[in-house]
Structure 1
Amino acid sequence: MAKSDKRNQNLMNLIKRVHSVVENADIEKYRQSQDYFGALLGNSKETTVKAVRIGEMYGEWIAVNRAHMKKHVILYCHGGGYSTGSSQYARTLTTKLAVSTSMDVFSFDYRLAPEHPYPAALEDAVAAWDYLMLLGYGARDVVIAGDSAGGNLALALTLKLKEGERLLPRGLVLMSPWTDLTSSGKSYGNKKEVDPVLNEEYIGQMIQNYASGQDLENPLISPVFGDFEGFPSTYIQVGDNEMLLNDATLLHKKMAKANVSVKIDIFKGMWHVFQMSPFKTAYEAMDKNAEFIYDVCR
């Protein structure tokens, strides 16, 4: 086995351990292990973290320690199946985003399921958006980014703003977005053997926690069913080894049909939210995110 393949395998094993929530019935313990993972891999000498409160909700600003652009900001929605994850866990991504774009990144700890099912996370995302607006940012100064369930939340927030006839963000950056809680894509079947991170049991548990008894075709729960007319420019990244591959490709197809300026990159041999890992392809993907953000903010 080549050195890089072996490293990839070791990384996948680590990622698998971090994600195996179903095997660990104690969800609180699992959340703590994710925070530990975030603290371990999300440390960057190039950035500072500043904590804030929005009512009861914790939020944090990640900024690079050098002169940088203040006009535009990134609102970051963390992943974790709506049941786990936090701003700290997301630092594996938010610090890379801040460094690669030289923009401030704001992430927030929305309430988690099963204690707080839908629509708690969406209400908190609206509160985070309103916080940025109160700080004096315009909607067009904000790019919303998210991974996995955070990609779902980024889309749901934008759909909610559209529903309220409010101004929409400048752009969307979605990494392995979870867009379809009805699990209709073929990749749920044909990728389950190769996906090192997700499995049917895990996804089923996350759906149960977040949206039990809800209409799963509600676009605020499964954004792939949304109306994307007038949506901002969107960039999607997904690995070709993940069960959520079709969540990304179907979203891309629907957005293109609605005349959204949308681009998708499918990364060969990559898994769910591979951008978290400290290796070359992850940094290259982050550079592509930064290129997209620069383009839309020009």
Structure 2
Amino acid sequence: MALFDKSINALKKNKEQEQNQSLMKLIKRVHSVVENTDIEKHRQSQDYFGALLGNSKEMDITSVDVEGMHGEWVRVNRVHMKKYVILYCHGGGYSTGSCVYARTLTTKLACSTSMDVFCFDYRLAPEYPYPAAMEDAMKAWNYLMVLGYGARDVIVIGDSAGGNMALSLVVKLKEEERLLPRGLVLLSPWTDLTASGKTHETRAEVDPVLDEEYLRQMTENYAAGQDYENPLISPLFADVTDFPPTYIQVGDNEVLLSDATMLHKKMIKANVPARLDVYKGMWHVFQMSPFKTAYEAMDKCAEFIFDICR
């Protein structure tokens, strides 16, 4: 009987591995369609996919202008929680991405948490390099404060470069001796523009989304001539003492795995209540994809948020 159980488990494991491999190949093909050497076409392709995958009759999406910066509120069309709010920082290497592209994530978050989500279109590199995006993140934060939210009412969430932005925003708030958000949720965060982590090499062959050439280009677009170890550029080098509770999700098959694990290790050492989930067989910001593991990951984010909002 034990041998039979082992055989069944082995078959299940092989099937899961085959499904992961198929999904990885699909993601690679989709990403090659979205990615374009013409940065403007790249941005348009992302918006197309965001509009396609992020549309839902359950959602109410409202555009707003914040001192000349476009933003949008994503809300569920039902009675829901109003006390807390999510500030969402979209990814895209600081050179691409938008509120529309981020709907693949913001709609899932609004649905799983029943909270309002505010996303904003910060200025993009290379047209607007550092510190333009950081200034816009602070503008979004101040906008929520003017609306009457307190710092402790806000959960800041970001994916990839948006995870970098979420962390950098907390670094900036600390510098200005302002109150910090209630919590952070980071999806495949890009924390280290020096690319010092080992997985930049060990995961290079299996990552279907990111490669070193792309990361180098994004780094140059955003921070050419800057000190890459500046904590506002690479928050891995920040003093994370007194950071709010943080939840990190990352895929096991991505080059930025080390960016997440090194940050988590640093936070634990500084006594920050930090939690890390590494998803086996998953890729960079897999939560965007419309499949079971992505929705389960969003539910885990919601559980973390509910825990810190008690």
8 Å contact kept, 2:89–2:159: yes
> 1:25 and 1:141, CA in 2 relative to 1: closer, same or farther beyond 3 A?
same
* Equivalent residue pairs, number: 295
Aligned partner letter, 1:46: E
8 Å contact kept, 2:24–2:208: no
**Aligned-pair distance for 1:19?**
5.2
Query: Which residue of structure 2 aligns with residue 235 of structure 1?
Result: 247
> 1:15 and 1:172, CA in 2 relative to 1: closer, same or farther beyond 3 A?
farther
- Distance in 2 between residues matched to 1:258 and 1:78, nearest whole Å: 27
Map Cα deviations across residues 254-295 of structure 1 (whole Å, 9 max, x no partner). Answer: 111111000000000000000000001000100000000000
TM-score when normalising by structure 1? 0.97
Task: Tell which structure's C-alpha radius of gyration is larger.
Answer: 2
Unaligned runs of 5+ in 1: none
Query: Which residue of structure 2 aligns with residue 16 of structure 1?
Result: 31
Counterpart mapping for 1:173-192 below 5 A? 173-192=185-204
- Distance in 2 between residues matched to 1:280 and 1:214, nearest whole Å: 41
- Other structure's SS at 1:248 match: helix
Query: Which residue of structure 1 aligns with residue 170 of structure 2?
Result: 158
- Distance in 2 between residues matched to 1:246 and 1:18, nearest whole Å: 27
**Aligned-pair distance for 1:16?**
2.3
**Aligned-pair distance for 1:6?**
6.8
8 Å contact kept, 1:18–1:34: no
Select which of 160, 167, 175 maps to 2:179. 167
- Is 1:94 the counterpart of 2:106? The answer is yes
- Distance in 2 between residues matched to 1:40 and 1:112, nearest whole Å: 22
- Distance in 2 between residues matched to 1:181 and 1:226, nearest whole Å: 13
Aligned partner letter, 1:233: P
TM-score when normalising by structure 2? 0.93
Counterpart mapping for 1:100-115 below 5 A? 100-115=112-127
Unaligned runs of 5+ in 2: 1-13
- Distance in 2 between residues matched to 1:161 and 1:261, nearest whole Å: 19
Query: Which residue of structure 2 aligns with residue 144 of structure 1?
Result: 156
Query: Which residue of structure 2 aligns with residue 265 of structure 1?
Result: 277
- Distance in 2 between residues matched to 1:11 and 1:105, nearest whole Å: 29
- Distance in 1 between residues matched to 2:120 and 2:28, nearest whole Å: 28
Counterpart mapping for 1:24-43 below 5 A? 24-43=36-55
Map Cα deviations across residues 36-71 of structure 1 (whole Å, 9 max, x no partner). Answer: 010011112211100000011100000000000000
Aligned partner letter, 1:178: W
Q: What do you get for the CA RMSD once the two structures are aligned?
A: 1.3
8 Å contact kept, 1:15–1:197: no
